[in-house]
Amino acid sequence: MTAAPVLYSFRRCPYAMRARWSLLQAGIIVQWREVALKAKPAQMLALSPKGTVPVLALADGTVIDESLGVMEWAFAQADPCDWRRRNCVEDQRQIQELIGLNDGAFKHHLDRFKYTERYSGESKQEHCQAGLAILRGWSDRIQARGGWLLDARCSLADAALWPFVRQWRIADPDAFDGDASLDPLRQWLERILADPLFERLMQRADPWDPGGLQPHFPADAVAVPTDQPLFHLALAEDWQAAQRSGVYAISTRGLAVDQVGFMHLSWQEQVAATYERFYADAGSVMLLTIDPNALAAPLRADAIPSGELFPHLYGPLPLTAVTAACPYPATER
């Protein structure tokens, strides 16, 4: 098994947050090295002398030390909900425009609004008004486009911007929450912060020490062994449709991979309980046996609310990875 990438991160840094957000979405596990900003590890500085997080070191020696670079790498591995809008050039242009405004003008005003004491001669009020003008523009855009910055679905722009909007709110929550012109933006942010992924994103770890524990991110996930088969319960009509189209992209009963963000799989001992809970009244059901070594998209075992780990595939299932497809439960003879 290839060694997991190494991520140097800082929990509250918005750049590191959006990098970790993309790793969560793409189903990737990394070796997690939380950084104490006043005592940055020599290993990180050797990889990236500029000393800012995030820094992602890949197994092949590649070093990515910009958050957008980490996001691009992650979504090149898997983009199950098409946050990049791969087939729409205009959407891609708008995504880049929104990120450019955030990382440029908005970040400039955010820093001088939140940390005015660090910038001699700067006016907090002027930067507040300039930042609010940008926020109100985004709020109007969200209102007009169905709840997200691009359209009615989350995109790379939303993923890249929300940690910075969160920082602005933290700087003056009463003003942010009391500004009616920001209502759509506030609802957008609240929806993101209420996502179970946010709790996983903000898991804590002590500053990394080479001689201490070696945690991974996300901390509540594990790599999926590839020496045993995986299983997926499929409605018979969905499996038949996949054989006609050449692709199977159903996550679970009634939901597609691009809606959920991954495909629900099981280990053998989990199949019966999954069937009883979700498929017992579904009619004709097939049990697909899957060779994990034939999968290209990332595999990660994630914890459900009960704490039980289930394997998830962060992309569609290639039919060539299915070694058997049998009615379930097996028909008695």
Which value, to the nearest 10 degrees, does the dihedral of the CA atoms of residues 156, 160, 166, 171 take? -150
Is the Cβ–Cβ distance between 51 and 40 less than 8 Å? yes
Contacts 24+ apart (CB under 8 A), 210-216: 210/43, 214/31, 215/31, 215/32, 215/34, 216/4, 216/29, 216/30, 216/31, 216/32
Is the Cβ–Cβ distance between 198 and 154 less than 8 Å? no
Fold of domain 221-327: ADP-ribosylation fold (3.20.170)
Q: Is 151 helix (H, G, I), strand (E, B) or coil?
A: coil
pLDDT of residue 332: 45
Q: Confidence class of residue 3 from pLDDT cuts 50, 70 and 90?
A: confident
Does residue 333 surpass a pLDDT of 70? Answer: no
pLDDT of residue 1: 57
> Which pLDDT tens digit goes with each residue over 83-142?
999 999 999 999 999 999 999 999 999 999 999 999 999 999 999 999 999 999 999 999
Query: Region 143-149: what's the mean pLDDT?
Result: 98
Q: Which residues of 263-285 are buried (b: 16+ CB within 10 A; e: fewer)?
A: bbbbbeebbeebbeeebeeeeeb
> Hunting for tokens 């001992």 — which residue is that?
269
pLDDT of residue 290: 98
pLDDT of residue 189: 98
Does residue 298 surpass a pLDDT of 60? Answer: yes
Does residue 200 surpass a pLDDT of 70? Answer: yes
Domains 6-82+198-217 and 221-327 share a fold: no
Q: Cα–Cα distance between 108 and 78 in angstroms, integer?
A: 32
pLDDT of residue 301: 98
For the record, the structure tokens of 31 come out as 């070796």
Fold of domain 6-82+198-217: Glutaredoxin (3.40.30)
Percent of the chain scoring above 70 in pLDDT: 99
Q: Cα–Cα distance between 110 and 297 in angstroms, integer?
A: 37
Fold of domain 89-195: Glutathione S-transferase Yfyf (Class Pi); Chain A, domain 2 (1.20.1050)
Report pTM.
0.96
DSSP state of 223: P
Domain boundaries, the chain: 6-82+198-217, 89-195, 221-327
Does residue 331 surpass a pLDDT of 80? Answer: no
Phi, psi dihedral angles at 11 (to 5 degrees): -50, -45
